[in-house]
Structures are given as structure tokens and as C-alpha cells.
Amino acid sequence: MNAFPAGTRVFFWGANAQIVYGVVQSTSRLPDGTQVLVILDQSGQTLSLPAASVTKVT
């Protein structure tokens, strides 16, 4: 089951200790089972993060 389908709004803590909001564009899994999210953040940058490092926006 994919807890973060495309279109899910998420947030994570940036390196500057600020909350960064974004939208999941796609997901994949590494050979070890780690789920990786491709996220378009609020500034328009695309980045990849492990699902364990993000939280759904409610």
C-alpha cells in the first residue's frame, strides 16, 4: 500500500530548520524496500526524499 500517492500534500524540515511544504509527484522503492518520494516543493524545486522523513499535511 502506498501511503503517499501522487498529489499528496506533505511537509518536512529543511536544513535551515524551517518547514518546507510540497506535493508528491511520484514514488518508487529502492531494492532494500525504502519508499522514495519525488516532491515538488513550495519554491518549485523537485527533490527526492525517503518517505520516513516527510509528514502528510492534514
CATH number for the domain spanning 19: value is 2.40.50
Assess if residue 57 is contained within a domain. no
Task: Print the domain residue range for 47.
Answer: 9-52
pLDDT in tens, the chain (58 residues): 688 999 999 999 999 999 999 999 999 999 999 999 999 999 999 999 999 999 999 8
Assess if residue 42 is contained within a domain. yes
Report the number of distinct structural domains present in the chain: 1
Assess if residue 58 is contained within a domain. no
**Per the structure block, which three cell numbers stand in for 32?**
532494500
**Per the structure block, which three cell numbers stand in for 11?**
511537509
Assess if residue 17 is contained within a domain. yes
Query: What is the model's pLDDT at position 2?
Result: 81
Cβ-contact 39, 47 below 8 angstroms: yes
Provide the whole-model pTM: 0.90
